[in-house]
Structure 1
Amino acid sequence: MRINILQHTPNEGPGSILDWSQAHGHQAYIYHPYQFGFLPKAADTDLLVVLGGPMSPNDDLDWIRQERNLINELLAKNVPIFGACFGAQQIAKALGYPVTNAPVKEVGWAPVYLKSHVIPGIPDKLLALHWHQEMFEVPNEATLLFSSDRVRNQGFVMNHRVVGLQFHFEPQSDNVREMVVNDFPYIKGSVFNQTKADILKTPVPAENKTVMFHILDYITATSNR
């Protein structure tokens, strides 16, 4: 399987998604459209991963629009897609749904709650890393998958092939440190009132990687085709 990963900032990489790819013997290709302007072709994509970033789907940039065109091509072909944060927002906007300011800015560690058991093996409550102040509207075609205490629209699953999460399950310890040391000014104003030190000293839950694997296994299962 060829996994095409769209990365949108140096400090928000694929994390445990690469572990999943390597464990299954897949080939991962990481694109940086914000810097180089190149995107993969739909015909060369068996799984698309759309990662987070500091930009908004509402920004008037050619590569952001082209990325949504790619997403729509793959949706029409029933190709699996996983989106995290900006990536999930891009999927929703590609489907014609708005991305707006969330009720609060969420940056740091906080629980999320499972709202649908369509994907097996996911606990009802998980500690996730949040790094956002915008949110997607859950598409009518999709099922609400996660909510947090203050933001309802935290995740969705659609057609057994697409999952979008407003938060992050993919970062591992090194990834969290990279996010914090490079983007710590963004923490200011978060409803969680966590400091840089608070975020860094919180261990990454081991179950987050397991859940990430469950999600990717689910959307790529041949039984869902």
Structure 2
Amino acid sequence: MKTHIHIAVLEMGILPEALEEKHGHFFSMIQTWLGAAAQEAMVEISFQRFSICNRDDLPQAEAFDAYVISGSKHSVYEDLPWIHDSKLFLNELRHKNIPMFGICFGHQLMAEAFGGKVEKSSKGWGFGTDTYQFADGQSQEVLVVHQDQVVVLPETAHVIGQSAHCEYGALEYDFAAKSTQFHPEFNPALVQDLLLQYQDTVGIDQAQAALAHLPSACLNNQAFAQEVIAFFQTNLANLSCANRSQ
């Protein structure tokens, strides 16, 4: 197994300035979330930030071992050059068998890049907590902040997690790609502040119900981080074997 993983974080969005100052940006949250799991797994890990939504250039695909694609306030169906370029880049990663993991917007971007479809959900906002059922039979509370959802599954994708609100909530592909609609890198304090800021948009009743439940939410974000580290290690080992056999 690879004991050092160099990860590029493609930052697709920014938080409101006051919340970013308080809680950090997407990159720092992902870095903290995965870093703790890597330490437990005795894997050395390094990160580099690419603020794609702020027009940073996409990296050379093979310059990194693995990629994490972050959340965003944007929708993946917006007609923006950096979104189009990112979809092309994800397909380059796919063809080069470079592992990738997408979160929220990243989950949706991967689905659209690989042949699926994303729309604003008729079920409304998922905001606060949700309970997912996973393919291994386990159920788990997770943190969610989204209105868009994957509505058409890519042919190469398999559902490994879902909820009553989000049918295609966690996906694994026939190649080295995995994604979640929920935010395993978030914490309840951030979601609470987001709810307070956007409660008029979400709806007062829904926001207040979500706020009331947050303190008792039973989360296991580190388990998801450990799964992602293991996923990267396994796929990098497979890639190394494939390269040696050529």
Q: TM-score range by the shorter chain?
A: 0.7 to 0.9
Q: For residues 86 and 20 of structure 1, what CA distance do their matches in structure 2 show?
A: 18
Matches within 5 A, 1:51-66: 51-66=70-85
Matches within 5 A, 1:134-153: 134-136=148-150, 137-153=152-168
Match of 1:157 in 2: 172
Q: For residues 29 and 196 of structure 1, what CA distance do their matches in structure 2 show?
A: 38
The gaps in structure 1 that reach 5 residues or longer are 118-122
Q: For residues 176 and 104 of structure 1, what CA distance do their matches in structure 2 show?
A: 20
Higher alpha-carbon Rg: 2
Q: For residues 18 and 161 of structure 1, what CA distance do their matches in structure 2 show?
A: 23
Match of 2:223 in 1: 210
Q: 1:59 to 1:16 in 2, by over 3 A?
A: closer
Q: For residues 113 and 153 of structure 1, what CA distance do their matches in structure 2 show?
A: 11
Match of 2:118 in 1: 99
Q: Which has the higher helix share?
A: 2
Aligned length: 217
% identical aligned pairs: 21
Letter in 2 for 1:96: G
Q: 1:49 to 1:109 in 2, by over 3 A?
A: same
Q: 1:69 to 1:16 in 2, by over 3 A?
A: closer
Q: 1:193 to 1:19 in 2, by over 3 A?
A: closer
Q: For residues 163 and 84 of structure 1, what CA distance do their matches in structure 2 show?
A: 9
1:191-212 Cα deviation digits (max 9, x unpaired): x813297168425645222222
**Cα deviation, residue 148, structure 1:** 0.7
Q: For residues 91 and 197 of structure 1, what CA distance do their matches in structure 2 show?
A: 28
Letter in 1 for 2:225: M
1:131-182 Cα deviation digits (max 9, x unpaired): 111112322112101111122111110136211111111213554456446x
* Contact 2:104/2:182 (8 A) holds in 1: yes
The partner residue of 1:82 within 75, 95, 101 is 101
Letter in 2 for 1:67: S
* Contact 2:132/2:163 (8 A) holds in 1: yes
Letter in 2 for 1:167: F
Letter in 1 for 2:130: A
Q: 1:195 to 1:216 in 2, by over 3 A?
A: farther
- Equivalent residue of 1:40, what SS? coil
The partner residue of 1:188 within 191, 202, 214 is 202
The gaps in structure 2 that reach 5 residues or longer are 16-24, 240-246
How big is the alpha-carbon RMSD for the aligned residues of Structure 1 and Structure 2?
A: 2.7
Q: For residues 214 and 220 of structure 1, what CA distance do their matches in structure 2 show?
A: 10
Q: For residues 211 and 101 of structure 2, what CA distance do their matches in structure 1 show?
A: 29
* Contact 2:141/2:219 (8 A) holds in 1: no
Task: Tell me if 1:129 matches 2:148.
Answer: no
Q: 1:196 to 1:65 in 2, by over 3 A?
A: farther
Q: For residues 201 and 160 of structure 2, what CA distance do their matches in structure 1 show?
A: 25
Match of 2:59 in 1: 40
Q: For residues 232 and 163 of structure 2, what CA distance do their matches in structure 1 show?
A: 23
Q: For residues 30 and 203 of structure 1, what CA distance do their matches in structure 2 show?
A: 33
